Structure 1
Amino acid sequence: MDTICTVVAPDEQSWGCTIKLSPIDQIAPRDYNVLHLFFRLGDDFSNRDLFRQLETAVLKTARDIPQLACGVRKCANSREELELAYSANFGAHVVFRDLVPIWPHGNFDSLAKEHFPMPKLERRFLLNIDYTQEVLPGLVIQANFIEGGLILTTALHHTICDGTGVSMFHQALARHLRGSTMSDPWPCLEPTINERVGIVSPSTGVHLEEFPHWKRTSGMESFLDPVSFDGEATPVRYSIYSISETKSQELRDRLVQEGGVKVSISDAISAFIWVHVLRARNIDTDAYPNSKLSITVDARSRMTDCHVPTGYWGNFSEPNAVACMCTKFMCGEVSEENTTGMDQSVSTCDSDEALDWSVKLPKAARRVKQAIAAVDNSAVRRLVGLLHQMPKATSLTWNVNRWPGPDMLIVGVNRFPTNIMQYGPLGYSEATRISIGNTEEKPDGRCILLPAQRGEGRGLEIALQYDFATLDRLKESKQFAEYFTWRN
């Protein structure tokens, strides 16, 4: 078995139907959420049996969530919109590939010892998507056999759903792989299929000037790829870190005790990463006086004037929470944020570390907490109202500069149950890796919070991709290493 591909077509009764997408769907990245799971297999494992079981599980999951079998295509209008379409000619792709003869990155054990490094998860092996097609599959799932194990790669087009949808899909897939042999030991979120286009009533009378974190695009290219990057001049690499549940709690407790700020563990971790990565970037603080931290927030439960189910199938993680701070203050060049137009000299009364824990990190954590709280019913409705006014679905993008600028986006998928779910004949995944779009050898200013590897409790891992010098400086930071452990 080299490569086998089957297509799970939608139900015949739906052929010819289309799904009109919401404004929030339209501004989602026009690429795939790609997730890799890693399963250790015994010598007696039957590839052909798995082929049938996985194919059946995807078919049943597509019955639960019919939009998985849709194709994604351009609308026949001038607004540069996308739509989902049902047809006999396309559907979800299920691919089996035997990589043992050609896989260049060692066996499963060697990958596990290296903590499943992102550079070795090359798309040319693990994911086969033809981007030249006029209609892209909404779902591609590829089972990749290597010596000693399986890398299960799933790609869900971001227009189909956000991270919550990705998690719901994997919960449903795992349930069908298990069949009736095992009940769910955790609460599963069931997908709810609603009409998308009218899910939120837009606010009226809003203006772009009221949205400092959004800007007009200069065209489709800037909408699709907002990062300016010269690959030849700046080689980059990925790095993975981990933090245990105990260290996470210690980090939050220290901020509470020394900084006098009441924040959650996730607020504390986000602020800590933001400050330390910015320092490692070694940016020109005169050229970039401020840094923005954007954080994805699932707004489903925050809607008060309309009912959006917690399992709503689609995109509902906009707007992002956005915190902003002075780069000179974050990098230790001044002891207070510049609010008067005059820089404050660095304090000589306290050590740099004391200032970090008593002033800088607490202030960053407080900004994060406030930004997340601001993503509410009104914020969502106002954004939808603004998007409705635009001449095209691609007229707006985020007003951030994540590269070469100092801004960052944190995407939290660490609550995905992907490493604690049982996948029937496959058992349990040992780790989770995810990318949004094709970021191979290209920084995009994202930090992805990942679930802890199997058996590591309720901690988490983080994935970063920056230039070599930035990652070397971050690795050398004693304060960062006190809480985060470098893995690769």
Structure 2
Amino acid sequence: MEKNLPVKPDTPFSDEVISLSTLDQQAQRHYAKVLAFFRIDHGGKQDAVINQLRRGLAVSLSETPDFASMVVPVPGSTRKELQLRLGPDSAVPWRVVDYTQQEAAAENVWQYGTYDEIASRHFSLADIPPELLVDPACLHVPEDAQEVPALAIQVNLIRGGLILAICWHHTVCDARSLNVLANSWARHTAASLTNGGPDSPPSQTAEGTRERWRLSYGSRNATLADLPDYVADAAARSPLSAGSAHLHDRVNCVETPFVISTWYLSAAALQSLRSVLGAVSAANESFTPVEAVSALVWRHVTRARFLRVPSEEDADGADGAGQLKGTSLFSTRLDFRARLRPPLPGDFIGNVCEPNARARVPQSEVCAPGPRALVALASAIRAGTEAVDDAVVRAYIGLVNELPAVTDLTWGYDLFPGPDLGVTDLSGLDSLRADWGRRLGAPECVRLATRENGLVYIFPIDREGGFEVQVQCEAEALDRMKRDGEFTEYAAFVV
């Protein structure tokens, strides 16, 4: 079997067009890129693992056909609308790169160590060029492209391990939907490795999982006043070129130098943090791990970036909070499937994470010391989260529907290098606990190989009950965070 042949669904499709919802249309147009790291016995035959991964994906695509589609413009639309197209030849681009072979082309020779060596560096991607791990078609979309795949896969073999790169066009779905595909793929791959063949897909897709139309109907007469912190700006999300089909947003490079750091909060640290906050809250309130950690990161990243450090610059030990002016906006994307009326099922395929939950607080209060100030931040985050209900979602949809183009509505945030902070919470995904079967097991680590715009990422909970947090900030701010005793009491620097 040719290793790089596209993977077709186990059950071929007839010609079909899948209409995208208003929320899908408004999603960021780029490829999200997830890397899953698996430790494998290099002594065994890798072809068997590769073939079973292919077979497992083929069956999964029959369960989740949206991922086998092509993303194309809606014919005749003047609003930059997209749709998904399926047909008998639908397939997912599949690329296998074997870096264990010394005869690999000179430009592709692997110089970044064995799996064990990468693991010893906590799976840092800082020195590994993305084009070695990810299908180049997902990194450089041609300006004149008239269609792009919904999903692309690259399997990277290195000595002692396998790095699986899953790239999907964000218009197709959110991370929760991608997790539905990944779990299906893991299940069928495990069956292939155990039984010699994957399970058969169900005869029909579960009811409700493909009802994208439900997210296309919004409130009439919605205005920007209904959505503070959002702006209507036709130029904010430019396509690759003026004459393109706007399948991909132009990449807005961050000119301010920055570094990416990863921190680990163990199950014990999470419980300790939550206990401290609960003890000083007005009614012994119990905050979720994500609420507590979001408040902790909001305060200490803001301190490190905008507040003078007393030990370095203030002989009198003043905390310097009085010199902070203005506000900081906290925002986080929510999976609000269960908040809609009626609710959507958990395995619904589509984008269900706008509008963002938001909380705006004076910077001086964000940086205030002590657990009571941290409780205030966690409470503000909870209030902002609870405010996003079906009515707010419908107002958002209604506003997008009234604008000249579906891409005109955008965040009015200054995430980086500004004072605002955005969190993408992936902790609820079970990526690190999914069993891909014999020879693969569960991924040891998940990383992102995607563009940065100031977001903080909370990674999936691991088998021990802890999770990693990825932060983007200036190098000097990272140095301050490492010396911040209040922060490092709970968060351990990883890489």
- TM over 0.5: same fold? yes
Q: Which runs of 5+ in 2 are unaligned?
A: 103-108, 200-204, 240-248, 309-320
For residues 174 and 206 of structure 2, the distance between their equivalents in structure 1, rounded to whole angstroms, comes to: 15
Q: Work out whether 1:201 is the aligned partner of 2:181.
A: no
The answer for the alignment partner of 1:397 in structure 2 is 410
Structure 1 position 113, deviation (Å): 1.1
Q: 1:423 to 1:12 in 2, by over 3 A?
A: closer
Equivalent residue for 1:97? 97
CA contact (8 A) 1:61 1:169 kept: yes
Q: Secondary structure of 1:409's match?
A: strand
CA shift for structure 1 position 226: 8.7
Written as runs of structure 1 = structure 2, the 5 A alignment for 1:248-263 is: 248-260=270-282, 262=285, 263=287
Alignment partner, residue 278 of structure 1: 302
Alpha-carbon distance, 1:12 to partner: 4.8
Deviation at 1:45, TM superposition (A): 2.1
The one-letter amino acid paired with 2:353 is: S
Aligned to 1:164: 176
Instruction: Tell whether the 8 Å contact from 1:280 to 1:474 is kept in structure 2 after alignment.
Output: yes
Q: Distance in 2 between matches of 1:322 and 1:368?
A: 7
1:124 aligns with 2:131: yes
Cα RMSD after superposing both structures: 2.6
Work out whether residues 114 and 159 of structure 2, in 8 Å CA contact, stay in contact via their aligned partners in 1. yes
Structure 1, 172-181 or 244-253: larger mean CA deviation: 172-181
Which one is further off, 166-175 or 75-84?
75-84
Quote the residue 2:115 is aligned against. Answer: 108
**Does the aligned pair in 1 maintain the 2:135–2:153 contact within 8 Å?**
no
Output the TM-score relative to the length of structure 2: 0.84
Question: Which residue of the other structure, out of 410, 416, 432, is the alignment partner of 2:446?
Answer: 432
Do the aligned partners of residues 195 and 420 (structure 1) sit closer, same or farther apart at CA in structure 2, a change above 3 Å counting? closer
d(CA) in 1 for partners of 2:208, 2:479: 45
Is residue 219–residue 394 contact of structure 1 (8 Å, CA) maintained in 2? no
Alignment of 1:297-376 (within 5 A): 297-304=334-341, 306-332=342-368, 352=369, 356-358=370-372, 360-376=373-389
Q: Give the secondary structure class of the aligned counterpart of 2:28.
A: coil
Partner of 1:461: 468
Contact 1:206 1:386 in 2 (8 A): yes
Partner of 1:296: 333
How far apart are residue 417 of structure 1 and its match?
1.5
Q: Do 1:322 and 1:368's aligned partners in 2 also have CA atoms closer than 8 Å?
A: yes
Distance 2:32 2:206 in 1: 20
Of 269, 276, 295, which aligns to 1:247? 269
State the Cα distance separating 1:428 from its structure 2 match: 2.0
1:97-146 per-residue CA deviation (whole Å, 9 max, x = no partner) reads 11234122111111111111131453210111421143111111111001
- Structure 2 CA distance for aligned equivalents of residues 220 and 210 of structure 1: 20
Q: Within 2, Cα distance between the matches of 1:51 and 1:392?
A: 42
Q: Deviations over 1:258-307 (max 9, x none)?
A: 24362222211111111111111127998961111111111110112x34
Q: 1:167-220: per-residue Cα shift (whole Å, max 9, x none)? A: 111110100011174999xxxx97953231344531112211221121012426
Kindly indicate whether residue 476 of structure 2 is the aligned counterpart of residue 476 of structure 1: no
Partner SS, residue 14 of structure 1: coil
Give, in angstroms, the shift of residue 331 of structure 1: 2.8
* Counterpart position of 1:348: none
CA deviation profile, 1:303-337 (whole Å, cap 9, x unmatched) = 12x342222111111111111110122234xxxxx
Fraction of identical pairs, as percent: 28
SS of 1:176's equivalent in the other structure is helix
Do the aligned residues in 2 keep the contact of 1:214 with 1:399 (CA within 8 Å)? yes
> 5+ residue gaps in structure 1?
333-351
1:451 partner amino acid:
P
**How many angstroms apart in 1 are the aligned matches of 2:84 and 2:182?**
21
